[in-house]
Chain A
Amino acid sequence: AQTVTQSQPEMSVQEAETVTLSCTYDTSESDYYLFWYKQPPSRQMILVIRQEAYKQQNATENRFSVNFQKAAKSFSLKISDSQLGDAAMYFCALETSGSRLTFGEGTQLTVNP
């Protein structure tokens, strides 16, 4: 069985500052994908960033980057230069070969002007 844990139910950040959301996971597989999804209020969930486990280089998408620590089974999301539009629920998710996407409980991010 695979599990995803997000230990921060809520986080807040000042506009233009940097925030890091934490995620840990557990799987016995060696090949898998990790994702961060963003779910704004009353809007659909969208993919923020994706990391393939066999790639050592951390993924980056504009202001979003991850810190992937495979041995520690840790996958944190860093948002730089936070904007008001970044306010949302963020979900960490794990997918292994042949298995379903498993989501964490989510972290509610508030961006203060």
Chain B
Amino acid sequence: EAEVAQSPRYKITEKSQAVAFWCDPISGHATLYWYRQILGQGPELLVQFQDESVVDDSQLPKDRFSAERLKGVDSTLKIQPAELGDSAMYLCASSSGTSGDNEQFFGPGTRLTVL
């Protein structure tokens, strides 16, 4: 069964360091999402891609976060420099479309701890 892959599963870093997360969506899914989930809260969308184009990054802290999906397939989310408040689970999801008819499939997430 096709799944969304993410790596690493866990990342511990010190503040001011750079970190990067990778996501490989389900094959054929044009839409890719990055969410941040703070412990005890629901996920919050950081960025949404349609193929290689960003369609929504209004909640992405652009001074330190960046995201790319160069070939419209896999994607990388980067934080530089990391801050203590960035500790969270970072979830990637993909779907075949953008409407509510199209289910979002989530990856296992990357749990980031910033010391």
Is the Cβ of A44 less than 8 Å from the Cβ of B109? yes
A47 at the interface (CB under 8 A from B): yes
Judging by beta carbons under 8 Å apart, are A103 and B4 in contact? Answer: no
B4:A44 contact, CB within 8 angstroms: yes
Interface residue tally on B, bucketed by range: 20 to 34
Which of A62-70, A79-87, A91-99 lies at the binding interface? A91-99
Q: Is the CB of B91 within 8 A of A45?
A: yes
- Give the Cβ gap from B91 to chain A, nearest Cβ, in Å: 7
Query: Given that A43-B108, A44-B107, A50-B100 are known contacts, is A104 also in contact with B42, CB under 8 Å in the complex?
Result: yes
- Inter-subunit contact B108/A101 (CB<8 Å): no
Asked if A45 and B41 make an inter-chain contact with CB atoms under 8 angstroms apart, the answer reads no
User: Is the pair A93, B103 in contact by a Cβ cutoff of 8 Å?
Assistant: no
> In chain B, what residue has the closest Cβ to A94?
B100
| Residue numbers in B under 8 Å from A104 (CB-CB) | 42
Q: Which B residues between 97 and 111 are near A, CB-CB below 8 angstroms?
A: 99-101, 103-104, 106-109
Q: Are A106 and B45 in contact (CB under 8 A)?
A: no
For A4, what are the chain B residues with a Cβ–Cβ distance below 8 Å?
A: 42
Asked whether any CB of chain A lies closer than 8 Å to the CB of B44, the reply is: yes
Q: Name the interface residues of A34-48: CB closer than 8 Å to any CB of B.
A: 35, 42-47
B104, A106: Cβ atoms under 8 Å?
no
Min CB distance, A45 to chain B, in Å?
4
CB within 8 Å for A46 and B42 given contacts A32-B100, A33-B100: no
Chain B, Cβ-Cβ closest to A53:
B100
- Cβ of B40 within 8 Å of any chain A Cβ, yes or no, is yes
Judging by beta carbons under 8 Å apart, are A95 and B100 in contact? yes
Structural contact, A105 and B108, CB atoms closer than 8 A: no
Interfacial residues, chain A to chain B (CB-CB below 8 A): 4, 32-33, 35, 42-47, 50, 52, 91, 93, 95, 97, 100-101, 103-106
Closest 3 CB pairs of A and B: A33-B100, A103-B42, A45-B106
List B residues at the A interface (Cβ < 8 Å). 3-4, 40-45, 48, 56, 91, 99-101, 103-104, 106-109
| 10 A-B pairs whose Cβ atoms sit less than 8 Å apart in the complex | A32-B100, A44-B106, A45-B106, A91-B42, A91-B43, A93-B42, A103-B44, A104-B42, A105-B41, A106-B42
